[in-house]
Amino acid sequence: MKFEFIANACGIFHGDDGTRLLCDPWIVNGVFDGSWCHYPPLKTTLDDLQDVDGIYVSHIHPDHYDDRYFNFAKDTPLIVLDDGPNFLIKNLTRSGFTNLVRIKNGETKKWKEFELTLFSPFTKHNYVEAKIGNLIDSALVVKNGEHIAFNANDNTPTVEACKMLRERFGFVQLAMINYNAAGPYPSCFNNLSEDKKIAEHGRILQRNYDHMVNVIKELKPANVLPFAGAYVLGGRLHNKNRYLATSTWDKCADYIRAKVVQESKIVCMRENDVLDINTGELDRPYIPIDEQHMQNYIEQTLSQIKYPYEQDEMPDSEKLLNDINEASTLMRERMARYDIEVESTIYIDFGSQPVIVFQPKNLQQRSITCTIDARLLRRILDRKSHWNNAEIGCHIEFFREPNIYDPDLHTALQFLHL
């Protein structure tokens, strides 16, 4: 079995008998309301990916399922997790796809020459307590004869999960593990100084790297590929790149190599590089990322991107305010349905006086103000965009007092729509 890397969480598993399983095809720049872009820039097109036997779609985030350009035949076999409140299955069905290969949590299905096992989120959150936490991610184990690959993508495993995987599957030749912390923190949090943002960038990356070291030591794979979450911001938000809790896979690999003393080989791949999963060898020499070229490309090319909502007319402010009030009532009802508790007062600032959309019963000296373009807010309220995607795309600015992360608060804001 071989793995061909494309970008981010996209690649193709090639079976010994020629089966081709495509994973998470995000190819075209501009997901997450326009801001997420590829670096290195891609040569691969969607037309290049049509000749596959099936597609594994891990979850509904647009860097995994880009519904703008999911241009595949409607009867293409789509490998999906069948578990929980599955927004991905609803979306694919609504879009007319008819051949969903549903696999339940922990279930193994024979599919062509592969044995496929899917897992629901291994934990609600790897680093903080959360009542709701992760609901949508999945992970994939691909077995072809004696060859085994583990594609965690955004479903970063716990150490306990890795122990379970090793006991169940034995020796894993390839582990593909996320190392970045995609999202708005610290780049969008204006309660932080510039120096503090840079310090938090480093702290979070080291936290993630250290977790990855512990995972590798427990799983003991032959090869490790730093995988998924590789992106840069384009458009007017491009200056936030320096504060993102992300790095190149080269930096991750260097850190891991210095910490892992066992015989796990850390592999980095570029577009269309092919890894022989059995031998751990690439089909050609790896070319490291040129960070100066990356910076020049962002500043000279990607910075010129305009986001879709920037083409919209400004909404009527009175109607927007009325709809925010209605949406906040609906948000509180949805929070109650899921028993979500939030301790902070939440304000929305769209260019006029900030509006309270949530206030806890027991008032405390905790608050968060969310500043957002009125045009994007209009799209969110009308369900043409989604709060979570806007957050991850860094389109929302925050001011948090005190600077304490409450993951359930950000889950609650995902219910803010009509």
Do 175 and 292 lie in one domain? The reply is yes
Facing residues of 36 across strands? 31, 233
Cβ neighbours for 389, distance < 8 A, ≥ 6 positions apart: 31, 32, 33, 61, 62
Number of domains comprising the chain: 2
Mind listing the pLDDT tens digit for each residue in 28-38?
Answer: 999 999 999 99
On whether the CB atoms of residues 368 and 346 are closer than 8 A, the answer is yes
Q: Which of 263, 281, 300 is the last residue of a domain?
A: 300
Percent of the chain with pLDDT over 70: 100
Instruction: Please report the pLDDT score of residue 203 as a whole number.
Output: 96
- Whether 418 is covered by a domain: the verdict is no
- Of 380, 332, 390, 382, residue with least CA distance to 356: 332
- Whether 327 is covered by a domain: the verdict is yes
pLDDT-derived band at 261, boundaries 50, 70, 90? low
- Whether 274 is covered by a domain: the verdict is yes
Do 291 and 317 lie in one domain? The reply is no
Do 186 and 243 lie in one domain? The reply is yes
Do 233 and 381 lie in one domain? The reply is no
Q: Which of 300, 334, 368 is the last residue of a domain?
A: 300
Do 366 and 279 lie in one domain? The reply is no
More confident residue, 362 or 56: 56
**pTM for the whole structure:** 0.96
Percent of the chain with pLDDT over 90: 93
Mean pLDDT for all residues in the chain: 96
Instruction: Please report the pLDDT score of residue 330 as a whole number.
Output: 98
Q: Which of 300, 325, 340 is the last residue of a domain?
A: 300
Do 296 and 334 lie in one domain? The reply is no
- Whether 176 is covered by a domain: the verdict is yes
Do 406 and 263 lie in one domain? The reply is no
Instruction: Please report the pLDDT score of residue 126 as a whole number.
Output: 86
- Of 131, 149, 137, 63, residue with least CA distance to 105: 137
Do 289 and 316 lie in one domain? The reply is no
Assess whether pLDDT exceeds 80 at residue 361: yes
Mean pLDDT of 267-271: 98
Do 289 and 402 lie in one domain? The reply is no
> Whole-angstrom Cα distance, residue 173 to residue 138?
20
Could you list the residue range(s) of the whole structural domain that residue 403 is in? Answer: 310-413
- Whether 404 is covered by a domain: the verdict is yes
Assess whether pLDDT exceeds 80 at residue 222: yes
Assess whether pLDDT exceeds 90 at residue 352: no
Assess whether pLDDT exceeds 90 at residue 176: yes
Do 38 and 84 lie in one domain? The reply is yes
Mind listing the pLDDT tens digit for each residue in 239-251?
Answer: 999 999 999 999 9
- Whether 62 is covered by a domain: the verdict is yes
**What secondary structure, in 3-state letters, does the chain show?**
CEEEEEECCEEEEECCCCCEEEECCCCCCCECCCCEECCCCCCCCHHHHCCCCEEECCCCCCCCCCCCCCCCCCCCCEEEECCCCCHHHHHHHHCCCCCEEEECCCCEEEECCEEEEEECCCCCCCCCCCCCCCCCCCEEEEEECCEEEEEEECCCCCHHHHHHHHHHHCCCCEEEECCCCCCCCCCCECCCCHHHHHHHHHHHHHHHHHHHHHHHHHHCCCEEEECCCCCEECHHHHHHHHHCCCCCHHHHHHHHHHHCCCCCEECCCCCCCEEECCCCEECCCCCCCCHHHHHHHHHHCHHHCCCHHHHCCCCCHHHHHHHHHHHHHHHHHHHHHCCCCCCCEEEEECCCCCEEEECCCCCCCCEEEEECCHHHHHHHHCCCCCHHHHHHCCCCEEEEECCCCCHHHHHHHCCCCC
- Whether 209 is covered by a domain: the verdict is yes
Domain with residue 363: its CATH number is 3.30.1050
Structure tokens at 232: 């840069």
- Whether 305 is covered by a domain: the verdict is no
pLDDT-derived band at 85, boundaries 50, 70, 90? confident
Find the angle CA(324)-CA(329)-CA(335) to the nearest 5 degrees. Answer: 120
Instruction: Please report the pLDDT score of residue 363 as a whole number.
Output: 76
Mind listing the pLDDT tens digit for each residue in 117-170?
Answer: 999 999 988 888 888 888 899 999 999 999 999 999 999 999 999 999 999 999
Domain with residue 173: its CATH number is 3.60.15.10
Do 327 and 283 lie in one domain? The reply is no
Do 291 and 322 lie in one domain? The reply is no
Facing residues of 65 across strands? none
